[in-house]
Amino acid sequence: MPRLAGILRAHNRAGDDTAHFSRLLKQQLAELDPALLPLQQGLQHSSYALDDQLDFVLLDTRTNHDTLVLRVGIFYQGIVAGCSCADDPTPTDSVAESCEVKISIDRQSAETVISLLNPA
């Protein structure tokens, strides 16, 4: 379970400056190990998620006494793997993919749960 204390601190400092918080969030998420994100489970048009060009969009922020809850869109690429023969000259094209995740950060410990919203 990751601890996203940097995002929690950025949210506490940002106040009403959503644009500033969004930039900090994107930076922090880009530094996160992609294996912690449900990219493979979020695929809709391909069979293998590529994690080298991720883009994040903050969609919603909610807070309560215990938790900071973020709804984030992730845009990435996928490929249809395993459908070409070794001598097939057709290149493997990437396909645009996206998914929405809920990021729940405990406001005391910064322990974070990242879950896929609306799985296919």
pLDDT for 118 beyond 90? no
What strands, in cross-sheet order, belong to the sheet with 48-63? 48-63, 67-79, 94-106, 112-117
Determine the pLDDT at residue 20. 86
End-to-end CA distance of the chain, in Å? 24
Q: What is the pTM of this model?
A: 0.87
Backbone dihedral region of 18: left (phi > 0), alpha (psi from -120 to 50 degrees) or beta?
A: alpha
Q: Which residue has the higher pLDDT, 55 or 10?
A: 55
Domain map of the chain by residue range? 5-115
Residue type, 38: P
SS3 64: coil
Q: Which of 27-31, 52-56, 109-113, 115-119 has the lowest mean pLDDT?
A: 115-119
